[in-house]
């Protein structure tokens, strides 16, 4: 057999992607929606830090050395995705309340799409280099923030919370300038769509309203075909975004997840968690916790997230007005009618999550009060959010519950609530064994606390990626006991309170 030696300038050929059905339906939208641009190859050496086996299997990609090699080339910007038609998407957005008319994929590139039995998936490479939307940015992402995005994407999926996924993470020796020089990296994100509220805002405020319907049609045709059955499919799309966003934020609140930058350009129309930056999970419960060091006024504080989601949805609805009805007044009435349902939909989704967290199976009239009183008791009492709820599964209505009350600086605050909780459990004749199992399935033992990510980042920056991979494995099954990894469920160390995460990424 004779081996053919490829010409040194010939593009590398992938084998792992050959069997995939690839496409880029987004590239068939009007030219104003995007700019065709290829990734800029990373300089220096690079290494594949991690692959998510769960996301690989979503795309029917068989694991193995071949996949590792192809992903290394793809994430380094050296391998065009077959049939991909790489492009950067145009969008705008309200950032911290102020409208910014021109954003867009400034450092991410839609490499192409994969069609599986489950549907269409975007392959979106973050840190891929400069695009026409980069403004003053360098088009790159640093290893630090890429590890956080990679791990949290997969951790959220493990928690059962809608999210963009991450297929792979590549570290590079290319130097990226932030507050300090940091190693560069790319993350390959996977999601049905990366269309943001800001996509619609972009065309609305440019007065290019003729692009709004095709954008909505794209989402409906490729991802929500059942909405075609409705008399007014665009109104149904808005309705869907409102419902999914309500459910998403309820899911965030229930695990103590703070997004950090809920700008409308970071909100997915399909209701996935999108754009992981200065996010954080609550360690000590504090309703007013601000995870993003750059958020000086707490616009995106933990307890503000539902209100901000509602405000963001009103921005989306505003931008969709021209396609909701030809008559502007009627369009506004329709949009308002749907927007006004957000608070009650959010409350319903939140209460369902909280009932599950408390192990309640029957709907009680005073359940909301029970939940609110619990958080009032936790506030200011230095109670760790995740540890408390996990331990609550062992609550004994007739016992002293020392392991729980000792978590409060003032245990009497817990005692007062525990009396009501015990009565509530007895009223529904709750079975302790079934309740414990159900509560363990609703209250994760493992979440991506900042300090866990920080340890993995430091090690990877020094060339050792084992901690990233260990966290990936642990966080992909956060509800399991995993006794060998119990230290990962411990209280954060004292130094964790000094960690600051900001928009710099």
Binding residues for Mg ion, total number by CB under 5 A:
2
Find where tokens 């990679």 sit: 150
Extended beta strands in 405-468, E state: none
Q: Is 105 in the site for Mg ion (CB under 5 A)?
A: no
Q: Quick one: 403 or 503, whose CB is closer to ligand AMP?
A: 503
Which partner, Mg ion, ligand AMP, none, binds residue 137 by CB below 5 to 8 Å per kind?
ligand AMP
Minimum distance between the CB of residue 493 and ligand AMP, rounded to whole angstroms? 29
Considering the complex, state which of residue 105 and residue 182 has its C-beta at the smaller distance from ligand AMP: 105
Q: Which residues contact 379 (CB under 8 A, 6 or more apart)?
A: 285, 286, 287
Q: In this structure, are residues 305 and 312 in contact, taking their beta carbons and an 8 Å threshold?
A: no
Q: Which residue is nearest to Mg ion (CB)?
A: 275
By beta-carbon proximity to ligand AMP, the closer residue of 245 and 443 is 245
Residue 176 CB, shortest distance to ligand AMP, in Å, is 8
Contact residues for ligand AMP, defined by CB under 6 A = 103-107, 133-134, 137-140, 261, 266, 275, 277, 503
For the stretch 209-242, what's the b/e string if a residue is b when 16 or more beta carbons lie within 10 angstroms of its beta carbon? eebbeebbbbbbebbbeebeeeeebbbbbbbbbb
**Residue 278 binds which entry of Mg ion, ligand AMP, none, with Cβ cut-offs from 5 to 8 Å by kind?**
none
- Beta bridge partners, 21, equal 115
User: Of these partners, Mg ion, ligand AMP, none, which one is at the site of residue 103 (CB under 5 to 8 Å by kind)?
Assistant: ligand AMP
What is the nearest approach in angstroms of Mg ion to the Cβ of residue 162?
17
Pick one of Mg ion, ligand AMP, none as the site partner of residue 46 (Cβ within 5 to 8 A by kind): none
Tell me how far, at minimum, the Cβ of 134 lies from ligand AMP, in Å: 4
Q: Which does 165 bind (CB under 5 to 8 A by kind): ligand AMP, Mg ion, none?
A: none
Beta carbon of residue 456, minimum distance to ligand AMP (angstroms, whole number): 21
Residue 165 structure tokens: 């996924």
- Shortest distance, position 248 Cβ to ligand AMP, whole Å: 17
- Dihedral sign (CA 418, 423, 426, 428): negative
Minimal distance, residue 99 CB to Mg ion, in Å: 15
Closer residue to ligand AMP, CB minimum distance, 203 or 385:
203
The site map against Mg ion for 266-285 (x = CB under 5 A) is x--------x----------
Q: How far is CA 191 from CA 118, 171, 194, 202, 277, in A?
A: 11, 22, 7, 21, 17
**In Å, what is the CA distance from 76 to each residue of 44, 127, 173, 187, 323?**
10, 10, 11, 10, 40
Residue 41 tokens read as 């190859």
Selected catalytic residue, list 265, 275, 283, 286: 265
Q: Of residues 49-88, which lie at the interface with Mg ion (CB under 5 A)?
A: none
- 143-159 and 450-461 are packed helices; what angle lies between their axes, rounded to 10 degrees? 140
Q: Is 406 exposed, middle or buried (0-12, 13-18, 19+ CB in 10 A)?
A: exposed
Task: For the CB of residue 120, give the shortest distance to Mg ion in the complex, in Å.
Answer: 21
Contacts of 489 (CB under 8 A, 6+ apart): 386, 387, 390, 445, 446
Rounded to an integer, what distance in angstroms lies between the CA atom of residue 125 and that of residue 167?
Answer: 10
Nearest to 184 by CA among 111, 279, 76, 87: 76
Tell me the per-residue interface mask from 248 to 267 with Mg ion, x by CB under 5 A, - otherwise: ------------------x-
Residue 29, contacted partner among Mg ion, ligand AMP, none, CB below 5-8 A by kind: none
Q: Quick check: is 484 catalytic?
A: no
Q: Look up tokens 């062992």; give the residue.
A: 394
Q: Which does 134 bind (CB under 5 to 8 A by kind): Mg ion, ligand AMP, none?
A: ligand AMP
User: How far is Cα 255 from Cα 282, in angstroms, rounded to an integer?
Assistant: 8
283 binds, among ligand AMP, Mg ion, none (CB under 5 to 8 A by kind): none
Residue number, 252 or 285, with CB nearest to ligand AMP: 252
359-364's contacts with Cβ under 8 Å and 24+ in sequence apart are 359/392, 359/393, 359/395, 359/425, 359/430, 359/435, 359/436, 359/438, 359/439, 359/442, 360/424, 360/425, 360/428, 360/430, 361/428, 361/430, 361/438, 362/428, 364/424, 364/427, 364/428
DSSP annotation of 489 reads: G
Q: Which is nearer to ligand AMP, 318 or 505 (CB)?
A: 505
Take residue 110 and report the two structure tokens written for it: 């839609």
Of 168 and 274, which CB lies nearer to ligand AMP in the complex structure? 274
Quick one: 154 or 275, whose CB is closer to Mg ion?
275
Residue 492 Cβ vs Mg ion, minimum distance, rounded to whole Å: 27
Q: Which does 343 bind (CB under 5 to 8 A by kind): ligand AMP, Mg ion, none?
A: none
Nearer to ligand AMP, 90 or 383 (CB): 90
Chain residues that interact with Mg ion, rule: CB under 5 A? 266, 275
Tell me the catalytic residues.
265
């Amino acid at each position: 057999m004779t081996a053919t030696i490829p010409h040194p300038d010939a593009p590398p050929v992938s084998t792992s992607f050959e069997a995939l059905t690839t496409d880029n339906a987004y590239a068939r939208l009007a030219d104003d929606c995007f700019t065709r641009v290829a990734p800029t190859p990373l300089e220096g050496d690079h290494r594949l830090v991690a692959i998510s086996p769960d996301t690989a299997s979503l795309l029917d990609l068989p694991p193995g050395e071949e996949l590792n090699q192809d992903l290394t080339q793809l994430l380094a910007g050296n391998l065009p995705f077959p049939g991909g038609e790489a492009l950067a998407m145009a969008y705008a957005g309200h950032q911290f309340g102020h409208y910014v008319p021109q954003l867009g994929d400034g450092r991410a590139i839609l490499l192409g799409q994969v069609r599986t039995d489950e549907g269409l998936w975007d392959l979106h490479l973050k840190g891929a280099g400069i695009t026409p939307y980069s403004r003053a940015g360098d088009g790159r992402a640093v290893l630090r923030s890429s590890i956080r995005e990679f791990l949290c994407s997969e951790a959220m999926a493990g928690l059962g919370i809608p999210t963009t996924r991450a297929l792979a993470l590549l570290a590079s020796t290319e130097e990226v300038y932030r507050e300090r020089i940091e190693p560069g990296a790319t993350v390959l994100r996977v999601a049905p769509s990366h269309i943001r509220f800001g996509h619609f805002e972009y065309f609305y405020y440019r007065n290019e309203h003729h692009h709004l319907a095709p954008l909505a049609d794209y989402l409906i045709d490729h991802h929500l075909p059942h909405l075609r059955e409705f008399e007014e499919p665009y109104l149904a799309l808005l309705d869907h975004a409102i419902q999914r966003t309500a459910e998403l934020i309820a899911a965030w609140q229930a695990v103590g997840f703070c997004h950090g930058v809920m700008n409308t350009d970071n909100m997915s129309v399909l209701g996935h968690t999108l754009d992981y930056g200065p996010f954080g999970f609550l360690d000590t419960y504090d309703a007013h916790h601000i995870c993003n060091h750059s958020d000086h006024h707490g616009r995106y504080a933990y307890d503000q997230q539902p209100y901000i989601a509602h405000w963001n949805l009103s921005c989306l609805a505003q931008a969709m007005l021209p396609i909701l009805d030809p008559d502007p007044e009627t369009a506004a009435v329709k949009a308002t009618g749907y927007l006004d349902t957000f608070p009650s939909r959010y409350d319903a989704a939140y209460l369902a999550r909280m009932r599950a967290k408390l192990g309640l199976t029957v709907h009680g009239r005073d359940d909301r009060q029970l939940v609110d009183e619990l958080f009032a008791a936790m506030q200011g009492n230095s109670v760790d959010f995740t540890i408390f709820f996990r331990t609550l599964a062992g609550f004994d209505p007739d016992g002293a519950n020392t392991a729980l009350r000792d978590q409060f600086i003032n245990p009497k605050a817990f005692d007062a609530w525990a009396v009501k909780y015990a009565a509530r459990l007895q009223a529904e004749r709750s079975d302790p064994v079934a309740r414990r199992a159900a509560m363990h399935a609703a209250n994760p033992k493992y979440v991506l606390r900042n300090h866990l990510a920080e340890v993995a980042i430091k090690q990877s920056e020094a060339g050792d990626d084992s901690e990233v991979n260990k966290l990936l494995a642990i966080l992909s099954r956060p509800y399991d006991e995993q006794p060998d990894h119990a230290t990962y469920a411990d209280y954060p160390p004292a130094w964790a309170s000094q960690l600051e995460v900001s928009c710099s990424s």
